Amino acid sequence: NAGVMQNPRHLVRRRGQEARLRCSPMKGHSHVYWYRQLPEEGLKFMVYLQKENIIDESGMPKERFSAEFPKEGPSILRIQQVVRGDSAAYFCASSQLADTQYFGPGTRLTVL
């Protein structure tokens, strides 16, 4: 049973470009969470989604960031017009019953 898959594992973007991070939850899991890990801030919750619905986006920056979890396919975290401060590790977690979250390996985003 494959775990949570994230791709790419490493992503380099220049300032102003768009970054797309993908997350495939564990089989049978319909709840997806995104977190950001910054060196001095630790792990912060960004958004919680179920299929085709955003349940809680209280941790998402108001501008440039968006997330979706379509009926078919992976969950996508999109960052438009990236800035150097977006450089971080982004982790996806999935859950079957919305209790225990299992994490993917993360995507390391570097903005040049």
Residues that bind other proteins (CB under 8 A): 4, 6, 31, 33, 35, 42-48, 55-56, 58-59, 91, 93, 95, 97-106, 108
Closer residue to other proteins, CB minimum distance, 20 or 108 = 108
Closer residue to other proteins, CB minimum distance, 39 or 85 = 39
In the chain, the N- to C-terminal Cα span, in Å, equals 37
> Which string of b and e fits 64-90 if b means at least 16 CB within 10 Å?
ebebbbeeeebbbbebeebeeebbbbb
Closer residue to other proteins, CB minimum distance, 18 or 56 = 56
Least distance in angstroms from the C-beta of 5 to other proteins:
11
Least distance in angstroms from the C-beta of 44 to other proteins:
8
Q: Which of 64, 66, 86 is nearest to 75 (CA)?
A: 66
